[in-house]
């Protein structure tokens, strides 16, 4: 099967703020060059899975609709991945030194009804009984929820949210680890961890270190 990939031109076309985001040393450009130069999946992403791994589909800046408001969750890469005899719907969050956006305590301070609706949906998908602690990063919640939504839509065996980090110092890993812990997962760099949510959905979380050479592209 021919792998579905994307070009630099396709990514630029869908970026919301072209000049600010498409810069050397920043995540959008770095991630695009890494994925376009890979033979299928970048090696560090393939290592998040067991057995023979194959990229079936990759879409840049993939939007997933969420309750509350008009702004979708825009995922850096959405990938359908086959590993062994299983399939996975994965959202990939590219990072260099950029943070994960505001913490829940800031995003959900004096929330509107739209934000309440969205938080209710996210907590439902993530099988959380209450709004997460204030330090948890909201972006990690909706990126992971996106993977769960798409896993149901494509009827895959599992969902995955993987941070593809090109930071030499692993900036923001502790924030990722705190989020993973919330879901009962112990995070470690360059490996994935799996959990079965109360809903029965299988979820994989991972932190993959990207090739720093792409920071110079």
The domain locations on the chain are 8-216
Task: Report yes or no: 103 and 134 within 8 Å, Cβ to Cβ.
Answer: yes
Span 11-28, mean pLDDT?
Answer: 59
The DSSP symbol for 84 reads: T
Kindly tell me if the per-residue pLDDT of 14 is higher than 50: no
Kindly tell me if the per-residue pLDDT of 24 is higher than 80: no
Kindly tell me if the per-residue pLDDT of 4 is higher than 50: no
Of 21-30, 86-95, 202-211, the one with minimum mean pLDDT is: 21-30
What gap in Å lies between CA 126 and CA 147, rounded to an integer? 11
Kindly tell me if the per-residue pLDDT of 18 is higher than 50: no
In tens, the pLDDT along 125-179 reads: 999 999 999 999 999 999 999 999 999 999 999 999 999 999 999 999 999 999 9
What gap in Å lies between CA 40 and CA 216, rounded to an integer? 21
Kindly tell me if the per-residue pLDDT of 188 is higher than 70: yes
In tens, the pLDDT along 62-121 reads: 999 999 977 999 999 999 999 999 999 999 999 999 999 999 999 999 999 999 999 999
Kindly tell me if the per-residue pLDDT of 60 is higher than 50: yes
Kindly tell me if the per-residue pLDDT of 19 is higher than 60: no
Q: What is the pLDDT of residue 27?
A: 81
**C-alpha distance from residue 173 to each of 39, 86, 130, 197 (Å):** 27, 28, 24, 22
- Per-residue pLDDT band at 5 (split at 50, 70, 90): low
Kindly tell me if the per-residue pLDDT of 1 is higher than 80: no
Nearest to 11 by CA among 33, 41, 44, 42: 33
Q: What is the pLDDT of residue 146?
A: 98
In tens, the pLDDT along 39-51 reads: 899 999 999 999 9
Kindly tell me if the per-residue pLDDT of 13 is higher than 70: no
| Residue with token string 């900036």 | 171
């Amino acid at each position: 099967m021919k792998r579905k990939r994307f070009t630099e031109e396709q990514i630029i076309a869908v970026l919301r703020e072209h000049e600010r985001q498409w810069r050397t040393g920043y995540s959008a450009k770095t991630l695009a060059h890494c994925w376009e130069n890979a033979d299928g999946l970048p090696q560090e992403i393939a290592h998040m899975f067991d057995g023979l791994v194959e990229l079936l589909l990759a879409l840049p800046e993939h939007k997933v609709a969420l309750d509350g408001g008009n702004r979708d969750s825009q995922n850096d890469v959405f990938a359908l991945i086959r590993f062994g005899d299983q399939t996975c719907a994965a959202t990939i969050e590219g990072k260099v030194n950029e943070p994960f956006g505001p913490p829940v305590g800031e995003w959900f301070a004096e929330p509107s009804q739209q934000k309440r609706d969205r938080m209710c949906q996210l907590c439902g998908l993530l099988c959380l009984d209450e709004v997460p602690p204030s330090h948890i990063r909201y972006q990690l919640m909706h990126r992971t929820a996106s993977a769960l939504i798409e896993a149901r839509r494509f009827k895959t065996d599992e969902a995955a949210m993987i941070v593809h980090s090109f930071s030499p110092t692993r900036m923001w890993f502790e924030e990722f680890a705190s989020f993973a812990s919330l879901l009962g997962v112990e995070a470690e760099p360059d490996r994935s961890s799996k959990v079965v949510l109360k809903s029965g959905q299988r979820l994989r979380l991972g932190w993959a270190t990207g090739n720093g050479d792409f920071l110079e592209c």
